[in-house]
A and B are shown apart, each in its own frame.
Chain A
């Protein structure tokens, strides 16, 4: 599979989960395991541009796909607008949910480029945050949408 634009080729056991593959075979530990039961979204990555919970997918299912993790978002040393907005609007506290939250937001903004606050709240329903109360996360995603709209 291609991960963040780089081809990766490993033989893995069929039961290897995508998140394990990314963290252990590719060494990309930005993607976190939170609940390990498909609920929290901390493990969210993009597979062919769409958000998925990488704890609930086998690496073999992503064979040949293009996977993007948090490490692959920035353009050199320029952050992705969603990363920038999380920074500016303080969309995180402990940061554990953040990689998944950012990836889910990137996928959401791809599907709904001009979201309302409700669209953002519903669009991130698969991602849990124990710290922020979501307020600043929603603010950050709306701000990122605005930045991306202005750039189009």
Chain B
């Protein structure tokens, strides 16, 4: 469904991605794990069209999207929930959701959008309870739920999640991961970025391990969990964090 072929991306003179390739099949959860600064967010931002690759290509269902604008890409069904949530803090929870439907404002009428709001509120009931509140007043976990719900309002085919468990209370982490699984069971394709490798591998089907702008390892979750390097570098500490 999504195929990224040896993309290289620069920030000014700095090369952040040195030729990254991966693919995502329909209905899969694929995780990209890696330490701080490995280039995970850079990958998602390039897929979303916020950054342009200097070389390489990105194919969505075999057609190239790496020259399109962010608006065109989200209209094609690729929706990102960015790192750090980035909700519209001064707007109400409800308005945040409505803005999520911005890419399809011309196709869908008001009643359809209202129905979708109800759908995502069913997925995250807290958002209904707080619908009039300013988004900035929600807790970290609630904001993360809002950010995911907002992405869903675009009715994406692929959801790109950038560290959805970062800075979120442990109970909420579990709930968010459960929801990600639920979405996949409903047919959604998901790219999940995590530093918390254990959390990521507990829900994903396949994974890629990134180090300083390169993919150093890939495989099914079972393979990655068995891999000595992964155990040492990513799970050792991660295990403790999750279970403590």
A and B are interacting partners? no
Chain A residues with a Cβ under 8 A of chain B: none
